[in-house]
Amino acid sequence: MDISYIKNQKLLNWINEIKELCNPNSIYVCDGSQEEYNNITQQLVDSGTFIKLNENKKLNSFYCVSSPDDVARVEDRTFICSKNQIDAGPINNWMEPTEMKILLKGLFKNSMIGRTMYVIPFSMGPIGSKISHIGVQLTDSPYVVANMKIMTRIGKNVLDILDNDFVPCLHSVGFPLTNGTKDVSWPCNKTKYIVHFPEEKSIWSFGSGYGGNALLGKKCFALRIASVMAKENSWLAEHMLIVGITSPEGKKKYIAAAFPSACGKTNLAMLQPTLPGWKVETVGDDIAWMKIGNDGRLYAINPEAGFFGVAPGTSYKTNYNAMKSLEKNSIFTNVALTDDGNIWWEKMTDHIPEHLTDWKKRSWTNDSQEPSSHPNSRFTAPANQCPTIDVNWENPNGVPIDAILFGGRRATVVPLVTEALNWQHGVFLGSSVSSETTAAAVGAVGQLRRDPFAMLPFCGYNMGDYFKHWIEMGKKIKHPPKIYYVNWFRKDKDGNFIWNGYGDNIRVLKWIFERIDEKVEANETPIGKIPHLKDLDISDLNLSKENLEKLFEIDKNAYLKDVESIKEYYKKFGEKLPNELLQEVDELEKKLK
């Protein structure tokens, strides 16, 4: 689409400013049509970036591999450039904004020579919803255009409602085609920066073409910048899934849940319940934006339109609905390619193909030393293809949230489910979310890593202020959701998981459902409320009484050690830590003693 379609003067001025800086060959405005998507994907096939998959295996789907040094989020190159360093907080990298702008302008100067600069107007959330917000991304990457088309709502419809309140997102792969430089199938730059300017609500990303570094609607806008917008305007932008749960009686409730990585988030988002008559439907698998409705309840939307999921480990056994979602119209990055034009990754099937082309374009067999797919390889799939997509997933009013869950991976100490005593206690539980490191993480196995609200890499401002914002929100929501802490990962003395997990997590959700309706009492303990064992539905589960008790065992000495660890962690936030949380941790210590 031609630039003449744009009528917004603020946007035109910005496009002209970036055109002067980056010097692209041409400018193209995305209209969001299927025809445009077909043209972009064909262009990527012609340039060698995409391989079209076998139509009989994966309809209208594409395969690609990135450069081996551009495979994941680059947290050490991710900056929050607030005017004052304290506003970025102890967890984020910071640089003074003017200094950072000088550095970035040097990198972006002439960075798009020989390339097209694409203008992508995109809506995070249903177009026109009061909970949604708009961004415009300028990029020289057609790969980004193709993925943004799946992950967000892009094009003419967005431009038609565009006012001056949009988030400018600038991106370049940093690979100009100067002096006869030959293009490559995955252009990127060794120098990488992902930078957020919270005061001016803008994002600059240089050097990477991959994932959340390049799809700026994802973590950059939907969490880092949106969390700042949410603090300023009394709403919540969270790293949470959203599901609708319907009981056998036809009653429906919605819950949002935050888990650090490797804690079963996607599996819960697309849960297949093992209890007869229960139904779980997906509103979103990764991000929730929540605003207070006229009735004083919290309403949530999924700001995304697609799933950008980690591929390895996803299978019809572990996540049937995710696998059904990516059967067509999808993009696969850094997985393996089968000889008959399909995709494969570790643990996708019990049968391992005899021969594959791995993500580094090498011939791969069972004897190969390395996995066929990168551990952070991805699928991009439209959310509306998910068999369990909720009827209200695009409702502009959002869905009313009845409960919020936090969870981590703990082999000991933390019970299967705990209900917070009140909102403030729930914020304390969220602030102390922790997981034991697995073999996949750097460092010793079993070490505790705190990841408050599962927002550690994604909070766009000082996390002490973020905790305070949550406490203040509790005072503004007339009918706040109940808050719970779950732990599917408790182990027995032999090191085996006690709880089945996966589809059996519906049993915990059933108890939460009944608690919201006050159908069952709870057992009040020093750490919060836990189920009376008779109220947890364990029918047809092979779970001994001893193990059931172990799931809810509260070891006071172990918990007191945990209290010390939380206090130590809180020191990071200095005087920014809300007093309310210090009160909560002191109160817990008193009760345990």
The residues annotated as belonging to the active site are 263
Instruction: Please state, in angstroms and rounded to a whole number, the distance separating the CA atoms of residues 378 and 7.
Output: 36
- Residue 443 zone, left/alpha/beta (φ > 0; ψ -120 to 50; rest): left
C-beta pairs of 472-479 under 8 Å, 24+ apart in sequence: 472/234, 473/234, 473/236, 474/423, 474/424, 474/426, 474/427, 476/234, 476/292, 477/292, 477/296, 477/297, 477/298, 477/423, 478/292, 478/295, 478/296, 478/297, 479/295, 479/296, 479/297
Instruction: Please state, in angstroms and rounded to a whole number, the distance separating the CA atoms of residues 94 and 80.
Output: 5
Instruction: Please state, in angstroms and rounded to a whole number, the distance separating the CA atoms of residues 146 and 141.
Output: 9
Q: Which helix (H) or strand (E) holds 125?
A: none
Are 381 and 306 spatial neighbours (Cβ–Cβ below 8 Å)? yes
Q: Could you tell me the two tokens for 66? A: 């990135």
- CA 443 vs. chain centroid, Å, equals 24
Rounded to 5 degrees, φ, ψ at 497 are -65, 135
Q: Where are the beta strands (DSSP E) in 285-328?
A: 288-292, 298-301, 306-310
Among 410, 429, 417, 425, residue whose Cα is nearest residue 552 = 417
Radius of gyration for the alpha carbons in the chain, expressed in angstroms and rounded: 24
For residues 365-374, b (16+ Cβ closer than 10 Å) or e, as one string? eeeeeebbbb
Instruction: Please state, in angstroms and rounded to a whole number, the distance separating the CA atoms of residues 149 and 304.
Output: 11
The widest CA-to-CA distance across the chain, in whole angstroms, is 75
Q: Could you tell me the two tokens for 564? A: 């010390």
Among 171, 223, 162, residue whose Cα is nearest residue 18 = 171
Q: How far is CA 358 from CA 43, 364, 372, in A?
A: 23, 6, 5
Q: How far is CA 446 from CA 70, 377, 402, 450, 495, in A?
A: 29, 25, 33, 12, 12
β-pairing verdict for 116-124 and 26-29: parallel
Which positions ≥6 away from 123 have C-beta within 8 Å? 132, 133, 134, 152, 153, 154, 157, 158
Among 422, 332, 317, residue whose Cα is nearest residue 377 = 332
Instruction: Please state, in angstroms and rounded to a whole number, the distance separating the CA atoms of residues 144 and 37.
Output: 11
Identify the three-state secondary structure at position 90.
coil
Instruction: Please state, in angstroms and rounded to a whole number, the distance separating the CA atoms of residues 406 and 481.
Output: 13
Are 6 and 12 spatial neighbours (Cβ–Cβ below 8 Å)? yes
Which positions ≥6 away from 132 have C-beta within 8 Å? 123, 124, 125, 126, 289, 301, 303, 396
